[in-house]
Amino acid sequence: MSLRTTQRCRVVLDNDWAGDPDGLVALAHHLLSPANRVDAVTSSHLSPVFGPAEGTAERGARLARELVDLVDGPRPVVAAGCDVVLDAGDTGSAAADLVVAQALRDDPLPLVVVCAGPLTNVAQALRQEPEIASRMTLVWVGGSLDADAFEYNRETDSGAAREVLARSDLAVTQVPLETYRRCEHSVAELEEDLGQAGRVGAWLWQRLVELPIPDFVEQGETWPLGDSPPVLLTALTDTTSAWTEVASDGAPRRVVTDVDVRLLVADLLAKLRRHERLALGG
């Protein structure tokens, strides 16, 4: 028996699911959180720095579908985006179509598009139907407070990031590099806690173990769960985190400056363990 949970919003989750598995960890957390209703999942491409980008969006979509099946709860539609950046000649995708369709739906719950990768799919959707900007809120894990810092999600498709963030009619909450880096987690803890948290946790840990880490990456004893902070905004609470309003070329933007990592990780592990217990009939 548990407390009744009120749904706060519906979400579209967009990420490069074939890349760093912290995105899949965040996807599982959203799927297991009843306060946000996951209606759609869209997959974006990887940066060519990790090898040819061709096929990476569809590979990510397959991983997302596998996780959705394993959770065996909400059944969101999953669609892949294109494998090139915004202005490389591919003007549309199934992912962009899905974002548009969700934004045009009449629903009493507000729509939050959570993107923790390049903004390619979001930019394509806004180009297709510009009026959807006023019908959704974008939560983006990406960019940086330091204008000179390299940030992967922004640099993977810098044109898409500039175009989306320049819109004056789109409400944006940003989780920048300096904030999502606070979600660093010990690899030993992930193995013991995440890896032992039922079948879903074990599947997520296996994705970390199997990730082909390029030779130029020096892997230490920690791993960032940087794609997880949006769960605080869509399902849990942002009252124990901190943010500021910043001026921008587009609409004023809310920038998250600190996140409640304890709440985030404790809630994830509790939901994974509960999911396993209920799946076993306990």
Question: Please, are residues 245 and 254 in contact by the beta-carbon 8 Å criterion?
Answer: yes
Average pLDDT for 73-95 = 89
pLDDT in tens, 94-146: 999 999 999 999 999 999 999 999 999 999 999 999 999 999 999 999 999 99
Whole-prediction pTM: 0.95
Average pLDDT over residues 155-170: 95
Q: For all residues of the chain together, what is the average pLDDT? A: 94
pLDDT cut 90: percent of the chain above it: 84
Phi, psi angle pair for 172, to nearest 5° = -130, 130
**pLDDT value of position 217:** 72
If we measure between CA atoms, which residue out of 75, 139, 135 comes closest to residue 100? 135
Token pair in block for residue 279: 């799946």
Q: Is 231 exposed, middle or buried (0-12, 13-18, 19+ CB in 10 A)?
A: buried
Per-residue pLDDT, 280: 87
The structure tokens listed for 261 are 């990592």
Q: Is the pLDDT of residue 1 over 60?
A: no
> DSSP characters for 198-216?
HHHHHHHHHHHHH----TT
Most confident residue range from 49-63, 185-199, 201-215: 185-199
Using CA atoms, how far apart are residues 158 and 88, in angstroms rounded to an integer? 12
* Single-letter residue type at 256: V
The pLDDT value given to residue 39? 98
